[in-house]
Amino acid sequence: MTKTTACSLLAVAMLMMSCTSERNEERTSEIAPAPDSASQGAASPASTAAPAPAATGTEWGAQPNDDAPGAADPQPAGEPGGVLPLQPGVYVLQGSGCSAPANAGVRFYDGVGLSGSATHACRARVLSRRGNAYVVDQSCIDRPSGDGPRTSESQTITVHDARTFTLATPDKSARFRHCPPGELPEYLRERMALPAAKAAAADRPNAPS
């Protein structure tokens, strides 16, 4: 074998080895899996996510604060009512005690009218009103109890609040205040209870015969 032939054979062998290596690289690239796009998206840094908004009381159904300004307060028992915006009960002259008031200084308001110690079954009819001043026609039975003549009188009743009023007639004027039942003598409590008892009896259905 000549030197030229040997060189030719060596060149052919090296060329074949180079081709084989390139084919192996092509096969390896075909077998390798392509990168997963979903995995790449899931691998994004957590620090880039926007923070969730803080929950508010409204979203969580929080109840309103009853102590907040503007809340409405609960109404007291025994609201004023009737022909005048006054608390039903016994009234005495301003400055007098409730435990032993003078007869002339006592008034009874039952929602229908203002009675005195010497009158009962009074009925007040409002003729006019200016602010908190009511001009009324007050009709009463002119005796402490029982039947009797009914007399009428024009009065001006100024309601200062639900437990205080001024009673004015053509010849005099006086201011009265409400007395809590627990401070009244028994006879005044009984007198105030009579109209309620009569009204309850009138509303009670008759027993079947």
CATH of the domain at 145: 2.40.128
Q: For the chain, how many structural domains are there in total?
A: 1
Q: Is residue 119 domain-resident?
A: yes
Higher per-residue confidence, 81 vs 28: 81
Comparing 24-28, 64-68, 108-112, 133-137, which segment has the lowest mean pLDDT? Answer: 64-68
Whether residue 107 is contained in a domain is answered as yes
Q: Which of 93, 152, 149 is nearest to 125 (CA)?
A: 152
> Which pLDDT belongs to residue 205?
46
Full domain range(s) for residue 163: 89-202
User: Is 81 a member of any domain?
Assistant: no
pLDDT of res. 192: 81
Q: Is residue 50 part of a domain?
A: no
Task: Say if 128 falls within a structural domain.
Answer: yes
Sole residue written with tokens 């809590």? 180
Residue at 52 is within a domain: no
Supply the pTM of this predicted model: 0.57
Say if 46 falls within a structural domain: no
- In-domain check, residue 168: yes
Read off the pLDDT of each residue in 171-195 and give the average, rounded to a whole number.
Answer: 90
Question: Per this entry, what is the length of the chain?
Answer: 209
- What CA–CA distance (Å, rounded) separates 82 from 202? 18
Mean pLDDT in residue range 104-115:
95
Tell me: pLDDT of 134 over 60.
yes
